[in-house]
Amino acid sequence: MLIAYTREVSPRLADCELTPLEREPLDVAGAMAEHDAYETALAQLGAAVRRLPSTPQLPDSVFVEDTAVVLDEVAVITRPGAASRRPETSSVEAVLAGHRPLVHVRAPGTLDGGDVLVAGRHIYVGLSSRTSRDAMTQLADSLAVFGYEVIPVEFRGCLHLKSAVTRVADDLMLLNPDWVAADVFGGHRAVEVDPSEPHAANALALGGAVIHPRHHARTRARLEAAGLSVMPLALDELAKAEAGVTCCSLLLRAP
């Protein structure tokens, strides 16, 4: 069974952390509607959608990807780089403990799940304002026993590594070449985002399709030209909170 853990949008979403976007008016009701459609898409593509406990007091808590890294053998509970987000991990930890052994990122290390890109036994970790080298070392030490190699990645221009690159097929990355170098991801081909859509690299491969923000139509055409089936979703309001389609769910396989 493929499970997608999500969390409803906080009514305080407009107070979210922002780096590097400028704050602009955000329609929270519209973001909630977009999130509902996102959960529907996950279910249509074969995931059993399960909502985590509501945390209305935590503005960023809908972005559950940042709280954990879930692998087949273990789940890593992160320590988010923004101190305001650290209370989000306790409820995620309680749920994931029923599925996987847990390891934790400890202070002073900080790690956001949005900086972690898993490709087989390679785990690419972006060095960002939210993710530290100390946390990367902890991650490498914890996962070496399972045969994973942790690879540091330099990037620029965006908040998280997965704002610059995501894996859209076994051997294919979608990336913004101005923000991250394609040659970092050895053995993978690359589809580059359209230059007019620098924020279009975040996509979620699931159930034989790729979920992608609807407003990035030119990059969507490039994905389709590469032979991928794309499911476009409205993400206009959530994007104002630096959301992508990967950050609103935690995916795991369960018996």
Supply the residues annotated as catalytic.
Answer: 160, 247
- Please report which residue ranges of 1-132 form alpha helices under DSSP H: 28-44, 89-96
Strand ranges (E), the chain: 2-6, 48-51, 68-70, 75-77, 102-104, 116-119, 122-126, 149-153, 165-169, 172-175, 189-192, 204-206, 209-213, 230-233, 250-253
Which two structure tokens, joined as six digits, stand for 181? 């170098």
**With the C-alpha atoms ordered 36, 92, 10, 162, is the resulting torsion angle positive or negative?**
negative
Of 92, 94, 125, 124, give the one whose Cα is nearest residue 111.
125
Report the C-alpha gap between 115 and 113 in whole angstroms. Answer: 5
Of 19, 23, 239, 21, give the one whose Cα is nearest residue 129.
19
Of 174, 231, 171, 224, give the one whose Cα is nearest residue 199.
174
Which two structure tokens, joined as six digits, stand for 255? 């018996």
Residue 39 burial (CB count, 10 A)? 18
Cα–Cα distances in angstroms (integers) from residue 39 to residues 19, 46, 117, 130, 211, in the given order: 26, 11, 22, 26, 11
